[in-house]
Structure 1
């Protein structure tokens, strides 16, 4: 009965979304004011119906109802309740239902927050958004039904992929999807503006909070995924340029360009055509990532779909939405003429260069991701594009981008002067050179990349501090006055500064992890040890343990430096009998200066257990920097909300003042 209720709610959601989209488009043509009144109610109804369907699927998993096919294939009675619940989206059907829930959630949020002054634009946005919802609910109903029945139901299920039985699964997919799907709103706003024929600074101000929200969620989602790969997969890395990882990086790069371009458009009413194109392409890349993961054309722990029919359906949605939007863009391009002008030396110019570099980097990742798939499709050849390709192409682009970050923050709008800015940034340049030389001397004199990465991180971080000091007029006016200016600084400026500082921290951490890592391995019997740098790692003992739905070999290890105990470590090799799969649970001793990372593998009767030890300098700062980067996005979003409240209060205050 629960499954049938969920199925019915999903069918109703499809009908409501399709009807609302068609009705709104028809109503806008006839300018029927009554039709506009249905927009918000329809948006909220879609969310409530999809939420009901999602709740029904959650109940099926929580109660281990194996007459539901998706539960039988992805759950087990012995599985802990946490993984029963997170298993709802640990499969293709459930994850796509989560996709739909977040999609309708954004639409409902727009219905709740939209202002009546932009009724036509908002109604058009609802129409486009509802069309996307109708397409995805159709995809669920016709190719990926999460409520399909299995009669008779088995006594037990096939369990969830052991790699997904991790607390990280509770947060990583929802956050990532909130980023992916969040760009659907900016896409719908862009198509609505093209149809309406009005793209201006007002439009940019409306759209920018939604873009920031999606970008922030995507940033956090990528960081959570990287940390999950780091501690769960047991290979010691956090990023492998896997196609699924690239699928999230591409919309992040395009989204980063988009939010900077929106800022230029909001401030100077220029770059209109480019900004609209970025809005369309950012969501297109999110859709392309969905196709890549859900089509079955790649094999990955993230990729659940193996039915080509599903891939064809998603590809059809992708072609229809993106092809249609680009057609409208081409027809309405003549309306996107800028009104603002700026000189070659200005903040607008550097932000445009920033956009072009980000777009080129995104194109590079797109090529590296899809070229091997294209070659494999049209021939029997297998082509691999790995880390060396990206290190030699993507990294130089990132370096060029980082050089521009502090400069663009200090340049004036419309017309700036470069020499005063460079003089202001002289301390940052000196600090960057000093940091690079120190890294080259202390860490490894043969690694130029480590020195360059450190120099760039210091350059950006000190540049952020100099930018803030200039805004506070620190040293130019009384200290109390500087503090007052600090208190009045808009949250948007703080958000920009915090995000750029977080980026510097991430770059520094990536440099440390990539350039100065060390690793070693050996077969050890209990009591034996191996050495790495100044550390001695001893395998004390190995015990057999039983979990609720797995059995494990748990290794207890001790790390010593100069006979002094540094850390007691526990690493596991787990076997999940139902799936017949094994996983590695790494042991990590995290410190500010670096992580000691240890795993054990399948034992050999003659040689003992394979013990792998890695040293990753500054790995902790990857997650700290990512959190700071996300905090910058949150501060910028909060600033948009505060400005909105101020704008609402201003007419009221003016009215009261006139009495």
Structure 2
């Protein structure tokens, strides 16, 4: 009965999405106030219906209802409850329900928190969100129904993919989808603005919180996925330029550009066309990621589905949504004439440069990700594009981007002097040069890691310089500077934290360039020396988990005769899925990771992969700092509260 109720709730949500897509937009077009006023209620109704469907799906997984084919394929009675519940979205069908649930939550948030919006704009935004939800609900109902029954009922399920039975992967998809789907709201605002023919400072103020929230959640989602790959897959790395990894990076890059561009619209009413275009592009990249994961065109540990018919459906949705938005942009963009005029050397000019570089990196990653698929499809040639291409092609674009990130906040709006900004950054430049010199000359680091450490110091010190310049350190008394710092807007602190967080991440990336590793075969009692440490294999024993068994090695690490830590890597066997996984053991002191992975056993010896990864934790600490900066900016009331509409801007241009 519960699966049927869930299926009915999806059908009801689809019907409500249809009304939500048509009635408010029609009402805004003809000026029918009652039709526009229906938009919030329809959005909330759709949220309740999708929430009921998702609740029914969770119930089916929690009780291990083996009459539901989705449960049979992705669950098992022996799984811990956390993985039973995460199994609800750890598959194609369930993940799409989660996707639509988050979209409905966004629609409900616009309905609840958008009461300061002009009625016609709110109606159009909610209508566009309803149109997006309609397509994906139809996709679920007709191609990916999570409540399909199986008869006779199975004795038990087949279990969730073992590599997904991990806390990191339990929370990674929701965070990632909050980022992906958050850009649906900025997309809806862009389409609504094109329909109305007006973009002003108030519009920029309304868009920026959504862009900021989506970017922050996507940052956390990408970081959590990277961390999972680091400790779960046992490769000792954190980013492999996998096409599905790239699919999450693309909207992050577009979203970062959108976030900065929206600031210019809000402050100066300039870059309107840029901002609308980036809002469309960010959501287009999110849909592209959805297509790549579910179309079957990729073979990846991250892929959900391999049914070409589903891929065609999603491709059709992508063409309708994105193609329609770009056609509307081409038709209406001429009305979005900029008001603010600025000099090339100004805060606005720095943000334009930021956008150009971010979009250039996006283009490189997009071409490198898609070209092998097109070459195979059109030319019949199989090629591989991997880290050497991406690292070499993006580095020349990332270098000026990093250089400009510390300078931009020092420039004035409208017109500025570059020399004056550099004078205020002299000590940051000196500090970055000193860090590079120490890394290159004193520590003997290779060229690129040394440059990376210098770039990280530049961003960190540049963020400090931004704050100290704002509060007047060295220009006023300490008491006055403290009072200014206390009253500095949280958005300013958040921006500085965001830039500093990227600096911390770059330091971690540079540190990984100094990593050392070894693949060794040891018998109990034997020792291997790596990176100044003695790694001794003490024993290998059997252990049993809730739905797996494992061989666990005990590795003692010592230095100068003193024990540093004991690691216990495992090689697990999941009998239901008939699959092995590796569980890396990691000891960290924040400045480095000691990392061990257990492989096969041969002739009484265990194969171990040993790593020393300097600064590795900084990669994810930096991501947390970036997301914290976004959250701090979002907590600033001036970021969330709508700017007043300019006089005379109550009707479309």
What TM-score, normalized to structure 2? Answer: 0.97
**Distance (Å, rounded) in 2 between the aligned partners of 1:165 and 1:54:** 20
Q: 1:511 to 1:64 in 2, by over 3 A?
A: same
Aligned residues: 645
Which residue is equivalent to 2:502? Answer: 503
**Deviation string for 1:274-307 (max 9, x for gaps)?**
1100000000000000000011111122211111
Equivalent residue for 2:519, pick from 497, 507, 521: 521
Would you say 1:210 and 2:210 are equivalent positions? yes
**Distance (Å, rounded) in 2 between the aligned partners of 1:640 and 1:241:** 38
Which residue is equivalent to 2:450? Answer: 451
**Of the two structures, which has the highest relative contact order with CA contacts closer than 8 Å and spacing of 6 or more?**
2
Would you say 1:616 and 2:598 are equivalent positions? no
**Distance (Å, rounded) in 2 between the aligned partners of 1:406 and 1:43:** 42
User: What SS does the corresponding residue of 1:567 show, helix, strand or coil?
Assistant: strand
User: What SS does the corresponding residue of 1:302 show, helix, strand or coil?
Assistant: coil
The alpha carbon displacement at 1:640 in A equals 4.0
User: What SS does the corresponding residue of 1:239 show, helix, strand or coil?
Assistant: coil
Which residue is equivalent to 2:651? Answer: none
**Distance (Å, rounded) in 2 between the aligned partners of 1:291 and 1:437:** 46
**Distance (Å, rounded) in 2 between the aligned partners of 1:640 and 1:163:** 42
Would you say 1:418 and 2:409 are equivalent positions? no
**Deviation string for 1:564-595 (max 9, x for gaps)?**
10101111000111111100000101112210
Which residue is equivalent to 1:123? Answer: 123
Which residue is equivalent to 1:654? Answer: none
Note the 1:492-571 alignment, pairs <5 A: 492-513=491-512, 515-571=513-569
**Distance (Å, rounded) in 2 between the aligned partners of 1:75 and 1:442:** 55
- Kept in 2, the 8 Å contact 1:191–1:325? The answer is yes
Equivalent residue for 2:628, pick from 608, 628, 631: 631
The alpha carbon displacement at 1:622 in A equals 1.3
User: What SS does the corresponding residue of 1:602 show, helix, strand or coil?
Assistant: strand
Would you say 1:8 and 2:8 are equivalent positions? yes
Which residue is equivalent to 1:651? Answer: none
User: What SS does the corresponding residue of 2:557 show, helix, strand or coil?
Assistant: strand
**Distance (Å, rounded) in 1 between the aligned partners of 2:450 and 2:639:** 41
**Distance (Å, rounded) in 2 between the aligned partners of 1:20 and 1:288:** 25
Note the 1:416-495 alignment, pairs <5 A: 416-445=416-445, 447-495=446-494
Note the 1:77-476 alignment, pairs <5 A: 77-445=77-445, 447-476=446-475
The alpha carbon displacement at 1:642 in A equals 6.8
**Distance (Å, rounded) in 1 between the aligned partners of 2:482 and 2:639:** 21
Q: 1:544 to 1:510 in 2, by over 3 A?
A: same
**Distance (Å, rounded) in 2 between the aligned partners of 1:52 and 1:345:** 53
- Kept in 2, the 8 Å contact 1:444–1:516? The answer is no
The alpha carbon displacement at 1:507 in A equals 0.6
The alpha carbon displacement at 1:641 in A equals 5.7
**Distance (Å, rounded) in 2 between the aligned partners of 1:330 and 1:338:** 16
- Kept in 2, the 8 Å contact 1:597–1:615? The answer is yes
The alpha carbon displacement at 1:238 in A equals 0.7
**Distance (Å, rounded) in 1 between the aligned partners of 2:9 and 2:301:** 30
- Kept in 1, the 8 Å contact 2:23–2:39? The answer is no
User: What SS does the corresponding residue of 2:87 show, helix, strand or coil?
Assistant: helix
The alpha carbon displacement at 1:643 in A equals 6.1
Gaps of 5+ in 2: 646-653
The alpha carbon displacement at 1:609 in A equals 0.9
**Distance (Å, rounded) in 1 between the aligned partners of 2:442 and 2:505:** 20
Would you say 1:596 and 2:594 are equivalent positions? yes
Which residue is equivalent to 1:656? Answer: none
**Distance (Å, rounded) in 2 between the aligned partners of 1:434 and 1:17:** 59
- Kept in 1, the 8 Å contact 2:553–2:598? The answer is yes
The alpha carbon displacement at 1:443 in A equals 3.6
- Kept in 2, the 8 Å contact 1:535–1:561? The answer is yes
The alpha carbon displacement at 1:620 in A equals 1.3
- Kept in 2, the 8 Å contact 1:443–1:516? The answer is no
- Kept in 2, the 8 Å contact 1:594–1:618? The answer is yes
**Deviation string for 1:522-543 (max 9, x for gaps)?**
1111111111021010110011
User: What SS does the corresponding residue of 1:436 show, helix, strand or coil?
Assistant: helix
The alpha carbon displacement at 1:406 in A equals 1.0
- Kept in 2, the 8 Å contact 1:435–1:458? The answer is yes
Q: 1:191 to 1:218 in 2, by over 3 A?
A: same
Gaps of 5+ in 1: 649-659
